[in-house]
Structure 1
Amino acid sequence: MTTPQRLEAVRRVQTVMSAAYTGLGAWCLFHPYSVIALGFTPEYAAESSVITYLATRCFGAQAMTCGLVLGTSDMTAFSFTAFGLAMIPYIGWNFWFGIGPARGMVTKLMWLDFVGNVFFLGGSLWCAKVLKEEKKGGKSGHAKKD
């Protein structure tokens, strides 16, 4: 891939991550009932309260803000690295509630959340790597000679 193609790929990954955060955040904000019904097993969804719906909406608003900032920022290698590493607690959450001690609380659809979080981690770290390489002068990390 040429330098412009690599930088365009970084921008596309950033756009996909931004759209995912903004879109899924909007879903949590505007339709918390469906998020809870699809994401939690019937016994936990049935115990939902007004606080649960408010918390889901707050989570959605924060996710939308994150997505909008991600989509409008000039990300650096450092910011992509920080964003990617920030996904680790979410991946841990997926394991804890998906197959760990708290399994049975969320539905099997939550594996999609795990896949998304792994994509955010891997995509962010890949983007950071590309930007570091480009800053150093090329894919190999050395300045190109004519």
Structure 2
Amino acid sequence: MATPQRLETVRRMQVAMATAYSTMGAWCLVHPSSVMALGFTPAYAAICNSTTSLMMRCFGAQAMTCGLVLGTCDMTPFSFTAFGLAMVPYIGWNYWFSGIGPARGVITKLMWMDFFGNVFFGLGSLYCAKLLREQQDEDMKQDAIAKEE
């Protein structure tokens, strides 16, 4: 992949992840009851009250902050790798509370979208880190060639 294409791919993936984080966070912040009704099984959605609503709004505010930071920072291979690896606990949460894990019956099947989103964030971040590392390697080779001439 040529250099401009590589950097454009990284930027587009970064913007997509930032937009997704910010959008889903805004939904949790603005309308937490709908998120809880869609995401949790009736037994758990029924216990939603002002405290759980506040916690969902806090979660949404944090997600929006993460999206803002992700969308405005110049990410390095290290930061993309760290962000990608930070998705592992979320993937574990999806597994644990889904219909498969030991705490099954807490979240609805619709929450599998969250699982796939977290996998996209994790693998997408690692892919972006790889592209940026390749870019850095190419730049170093070009600098070495320029110094020899």
Question: Structure 2 length as normaliser, TM-score?
Answer: 0.92
Q: CA shift at 1:143, angstroms?
A: 2.8
- Aligned: 1:143 with 2:141: yes
**Counterpart secondary structure, 1:125:** helix
- Aligned: 1:125 with 2:126: yes
Alignment partners' CA distance in 2, 1:122 and 1:71: 17
Matched residue, 1:101: 102
AA matched with 1:125? L
Report runs of 4+ in structure 1 exceeding 6 Å deviation: none
**How many residue pairs were aligned?**
143
Alignment partners' CA distance in 2, 1:59 and 1:47: 18
**Counterpart secondary structure, 2:105:** coil
Matched residue, 2:74: 74
**Counterpart secondary structure, 1:137:** helix
Stretch of structure 1 that moved more, 43-52 or 81-90:
43-52
Q: CA shift at 1:49, angstroms?
A: 1.7
**Counterpart secondary structure, 2:141:** coil
Matched residue, 1:112: 113
Structural RMSD (CA) = 1.5
Alignment partners' CA distance in 1, 2:42 and 2:94: 18
Matched residue, 1:34: 34
Q: Which runs of 5+ in 1 are unaligned?
A: none
AA matched with 2:126? L
Q: CA shift at 1:48, angstroms?
A: 1.2
Alignment partners' CA distance in 2, 1:41 and 1:32: 15
Q: CA shift at 1:59, angstroms?
A: 0.1
Matched residue, 1:11: 11
Q: Which runs of 5+ in 2 are unaligned?
A: none
AA matched with 1:16? A
**Counterpart secondary structure, 1:143:** helix
1:53-92 to structure 2, matched below 5 A, reads 53-92=53-92
What percent of counterpart residues are identical? 68
Matched residue, 1:21: 21
Structure showing greater Rg: 2
AA matched with 2:101? G
Alignment partners' CA distance in 1, 2:59 and 2:106: 18
AA matched with 1:143? K
